[in-house]
Structure 1
Amino acid sequence: MRRGRFAPSPTGPLHFGSLVAALGSYLNVRAQQGQWLVRMEDLDPPREEPGAADQILRVLDALGFEWDGDVVYQSQRYDLYHDAIRDLTAKGLTYYCTCSRQDISRAGLPGIEGNRYPGTCRTAAHRNLDASTRLVTDDIPIIFTDLLQGQQSQRLQSDVGDFVILRRDGFMAYQIAVVVDDTDQGITEVVRGSDLLDSTPRQIYLQRLLDLATPHYLHLPVAVDGQGNKLSKQTGAPAIDIRNGPKVIFEALAFLGQCPPAELSGAKPAELLEWGKQHWNAAMIPPLKSIPFGA
């Protein structure tokens, strides 16, 4: 059975950009009679907003989204992540790192997400005293085909460098947690925003090191404002008002290229979602990384 998921971070209320990811993942798997899970990626308490997780779930429910099984919270799954890190460590693939962001910046090595890590601590043999844990990478190309964005290729050592899997403050890093959870939950397809496209090779690399299956990936265009900034809490994206539920779902369907008929513009959310399931066509999604919305 096909199984997809929506995995928001509870750093604020649900907005249009996150609704697009929820809708795309929901319709893509429901159109295949598959299951849709919800997982809270609550790995970064300093950035999280109290009550945001519950608010996101209330909005999804009010908009007619139906998920399978219980909601999973990453903050309750640290034992699984530590098991994976122990496995990687036993294979000689991790090391402790005491470098600060300033140290990495001073090294000045360009990468796809700014300065990449220069490998300073790879052979330093630090003990676990106020240190993060990094994963050893190599330069063998990670090549995969995204179902919307096409073929992708990345050399981790040259493009990213050895990356953190356990933060210095003790919080788990996103890359290791998402890989462990997707496997544990039996996820067969990952439909999410294109802002995570560059993270995918790191996740495929981890899957290979841990002998885990790789799901299919489809990275949707993200909604951006008039200045090209991704809609987010930081850029002032307004929270979804459930009183405007039909309007925002209709707009999200149109954003994803599904061309809902005008007569459905005032339909109830459940009716719009049902239409979406019956008429979903991933080939109609614009093969772009971003699309302006509300500009």
Structure 2
Amino acid sequence: MSLRTRFAPSPTGPLHLGHAYSALLAHDTARAAGGSFLLRLDDLDQSRARTHWAAQIESDLAWLGLTWDGPVMRQSDRLPRYRAALAALWDRGLLYPCHCTRRDIEAAASAPQEGAPLHGPDGVIYPGTCRPDTPPVGPMPGDCALRLDMARAGAAAGLDRAALTYTETGVAEPPGALGPDHFTREIGDVALARRGLGAAYHLAVVLDDADQAITHVIRGADLAPATAIHVLLQRLLGLPTPIYHHHRLIRDETGRRLAKRDDARAIAALRDEGRTPDDIRAMVDLPPPLLLGSNILGG
């Protein structure tokens, strides 16, 4: 199978230099290997997604010289796919409904007997407030969050017999074999569906990567801690696991990671200033397209 990468921004604001670096890196890697580069939009949160930001994303990427293969995938078009996967996990007793708010979780996690809240890749590690003693029965509810019972998921994925492994490059310390304790203690019961959204990021990204036959996931180092969640879901759903590469983050002069609020570093603003695509590459210290090395390609 030929190499396939993707770029999956949220149309909730302008692309900035950090986005440009990630998109260019994924695009250049695919093209250097004679593979495919795909574009999809993480627009599950329709309360924040805007059509004009989606159009701006495509315009900025095209201006940078990026081309993508096939139509743009939009997560908002794929809710039945996500719901079917949730139903499959529910029927196996791996999900449970959760009615906690973020404030509830913060309060429970920082209760005196618990100590300071512990943070994992999904934020504050869920303290298990709504976790049932036995798997829930009956129809899957649609009006609340659905959490993955990590202890049962680990057993279902075979983590009681063999630890989870995967290929990850770009991080300072690639993970070794991950056993059930890692998932229950350092990650907790992550939400796979959120009220009003139909699905949550972790489930959507796993299904999208599988359905687009992505072989190499190239994304920022801030997402590296979530990779174990994604590989666990791939194991549970019988999906292939890509090679993961987590690249450095683009930061401002104070060392802060760029965010969408950094309008001065928005690609559209830099275009308006008269900057060129080569200027953008120089600003993020990325040379013109070339073979980017075996540490990304998995060779």
Does TM, normalized by the shorter one, top 0.5?
yes
Partner of 1:63: 64
CA positional deviation for 1:206? 0.5
CA positional deviation for 1:132? 0.7
Q: Is residue 144 of structure 1 aligned with residue 157 of structure 2?
A: no
* 1:246 partner amino acid: P
CA positional deviation for 1:130? 4.2
* 1:201 partner amino acid: A
Q: Is residue 244 of structure 1 aligned with residue 275 of structure 2?
A: yes
Partner of 2:251: 224
Partner of 1:263: none
- Quick one: structure 1 residues 191 and 236, their matched pair in 2 at CA, closer, same or farther if it must change by over 3 Å? same
* 1:151 partner amino acid: P
**Secondary structure at 1:67's aligned position in 2?**
coil
Q: Is residue 210 of structure 1 aligned with residue 223 of structure 2?
A: no
Structure 1 residues 112-121 or 34-43, which shifts more? Answer: 112-121
C-alpha separation between the residues in 2 aligned to 1:96 and 1:152? 31
Q: Cα RMSD (Å) of the superposition?
A: 2.3
* 2:149 partner amino acid: V
Unaligned runs of 5+ in 2: 110-116
**Secondary structure at 1:222's aligned position in 2?**
coil
C-alpha separation between the residues in 1 aligned to 2:95 and 2:38? 31
C-alpha separation between the residues in 2 aligned to 1:224 and 1:194? 12
Structure 1 residues 169-178 or 129-138, which shifts more? Answer: 129-138
Task: Give the share of equivalent positions with the same residue, in percent.
Answer: 38
- Quick one: structure 1 residues 282 and 223, their matched pair in 2 at CA, closer, same or farther if it must change by over 3 Å? farther
Return the structure number with greater strand share.
1
CA positional deviation for 1:237? 4.9
**Contact 2:16 2:262 (C-alpha < 8 Å) held by counterparts:** no
Partner of 1:280: 292
Partner of 1:255: 285
**Contact 1:143 1:151 (C-alpha < 8 Å) held by counterparts:** no
Structure 2 residue corresponding to 1:156, chosen from 166, 174, 183: 183
C-alpha separation between the residues in 1 aligned to 2:50 and 2:255? 25
Query: TM-score, length-normalised on structure 2?
Result: 0.81
How many residues are treated as equivalent by the alignment? Answer: 265
Structure 1 residue corresponding to 2:146, chosen from 128, 133, 145: 133
* 1:280 partner amino acid: L
**Contact 1:28 1:282 (C-alpha < 8 Å) held by counterparts:** no
C-alpha separation between the residues in 2 aligned to 1:146 and 1:212? 17
Partner of 1:291: none
* 2:16 partner amino acid: H
CA positional deviation for 1:239? 1.6
Structure 1 residues 129-138 or 30-39, which shifts more? Answer: 129-138
C-alpha separation between the residues in 2 aligned to 1:63 and 1:235? 19
C-alpha separation between the residues in 1 aligned to 2:197 and 2:57? 26
**Secondary structure at 1:96's aligned position in 2?**
strand
Unaligned runs of 5+ in 1: 261-271, 285-295
CA positional deviation for 1:60? 1.0
CA positional deviation for 1:173? 0.5
- Quick one: structure 1 residues 249 and 133, their matched pair in 2 at CA, closer, same or farther if it must change by over 3 Å? same
CA positional deviation for 1:30? 1.3
Moved over 6 A (4+): none
**Contact 2:43 2:75 (C-alpha < 8 Å) held by counterparts:** yes
